[in-house]
Amino acid sequence: MIKNQAKFAKKDLGQNFLTSTKFRDQILEEAGDISGQEILEVGPGLGFLTEALIDAKARLTAVELDNRVYPILTKKFAQYINRPVDEAPSFTLVEGSILHEDLDQRYEQKKYSVIANIPYHITSPIIRKLLSETRNKPQQTILMVQKEVAEKICPKIKKGKQKRSILSISVEIYATAKLCFVVGREHFDPSPKVDSAIIKLVTRETPLVPADMETDFFTVVNAGFHEKRKKLGNSIGKYFGVSPSLLMGTVNENLRAEDLTIEDWIEITKNFQKNVKV
């Protein structure tokens, strides 16, 4: 047992260890019944959330970059290691970075979910890997992230409209997103400088954007947010060096990038493919 978690934590690994059993229980409540299910945990650290996942009888795989915790986790969960494939709970510790892990190979033709308190500095790469770069995507992904990032991924609906960002669009085309609850900084050791939040992403059976359009879609979206405070018709037309009418179609040219729906971006992408792309 590590007596001083704050001293043990490595800043360059983004380690802030959750200490609240109340919020740990709430994470499990969001996950639902995971008994016998394949669960992937990213960055188990000292095993605080890991313990709850095993108590819930999950078949748990934990990917950890910090080799200092390998003997701690191996000793703590020794009785659950190398169990038969049909027994649960079970525990498999994978040494390395989640960004280098081949999830399609590990979960070939298997259903699985992700539940993790991730390093905040690699939130976007982790989400991109799970939702975009992996063919066999997790059924649901429950992540502890920075509160500000959670609010970008799950923008509030005001007067029937949402203010989207590149990050929220990147998630929305693959999954529905919900901000479940906020976790104050005082519930971590060491305490981070920001509050946190739990988000829940449920993967869509079919992405909103077809695979053969995806590259052009993000080319257009990134162009649209290049000058996000300006009217989209002017900024995106200027970006591609064409008349706005060739791109916008039925989309209001006076809107800003953050005001558009996924359907609007798809329409602009189709016009881009038809009128601009060579």
Phi, psi (deg, nearest 5) at residue 270: -65, -40
Average pLDDT over residues 195-216: 97
Preceding omega of 84 cis (within 30 degrees of 0)? no
pLDDT, tens only, 174-183? 999 999 999 9
The third-level CATH classification (topology) of the domain covering 211-275 is Helicase, Ruva Protein; domain 3 (1.10.8)
Domain 5-203 matching CATH 3.40.50.150: the answer reads yes
pLDDT, tens only, 107-133? 998 999 999 999 999 999 999 999 999
**Least-confidence region, from 154-163, 220-229, 258-267:** 154-163
The Cα–Cα gap between 31 and 47 comes to 18
Q: For residues 150 and 181, is the Cβ–Cβ distance under 8 A?
A: no
The Cα–Cα gap between 165 and 259 comes to 9
Output DSSP code: residue 131: I
Neighbour count for residue 89 (Cβ, 10 Å)? 20
Q: For residues 209 and 217, is the Cβ–Cβ distance under 8 A?
A: yes
Q: Tell me which range, 26-30, 63-67, 191-195, is most confidently predicted by mean pLDDT.
A: 26-30
Residues 6+ apart with CB under 8 A from 7: none
pLDDT, tens only, 244-254? 999 999 999 99
pLDDT exceeds cutoff 70 at 198: yes
Average pLDDT over residues 225-239: 93
Check residue 278 and give its pLDDT. 66
SS3 4: coil
Sign of CA dihedral 63, 64, 67, 68: negative
pLDDT exceeds cutoff 80 at 1: no
158: confidence class by pLDDT, cuts 50, 70, 90: confident
Q: For residues 268 and 247, is the Cβ–Cβ distance under 8 A?
A: yes
5: confidence class by pLDDT, cuts 50, 70, 90: confident
Domain coordinates of the chain in residue numbers?
5-203, 211-275
